[in-house]
Amino acid sequence: MPTEFGGQSDFGFDVGQEFLEGSEQGRRSSFFSFVNQQQSPQRRFFQNQFQNIQNQFLGQLGQTIRQGGTPDQTFQSFLEGFPFSQRFQELPPALRGQLNNRFAPSVRFFF
């Protein structure tokens, strides 16, 4: 007997995959399954980036359609190839949770 979120249905499609791709909650659960694998500062940053990353995915689908292709990429496969670590490293140090180590002493004027 098929389960609600996994296994084969009576019609031969994967119910879990349909959940992950067919609803907002499914895409969110897929996204956060990838985010939770990241290191702590990365996890904190990407927890607020779901909408931006989903928009990038939708933009790629739209571009594929405009170019006459068939949009066959799933959100989960998009996330598998998404460069989480690279995107995080491209952020300024302050957004990565690193302190700025530059010391700017005050300027003294002698009159």
pLDDT digits (tens, 9 = 90+) for 24-81: 888 888 888 888 776 778 888 888 888 999 999 999 999 999 999 888 888 889 999 9
Q: 100 vs 4, 46, 88, 94, CA distance in Å?
A: 49, 21, 17, 7
Give the CA diameter of the chain: 89
This model's pTM is above 0.85: no
Confidence of residue 107 (pLDDT cuts 50, 70, 90): low
Contact criterion met (CB below 8 Å) for 31 and 25: no
The amino acid occupying position 57 is F
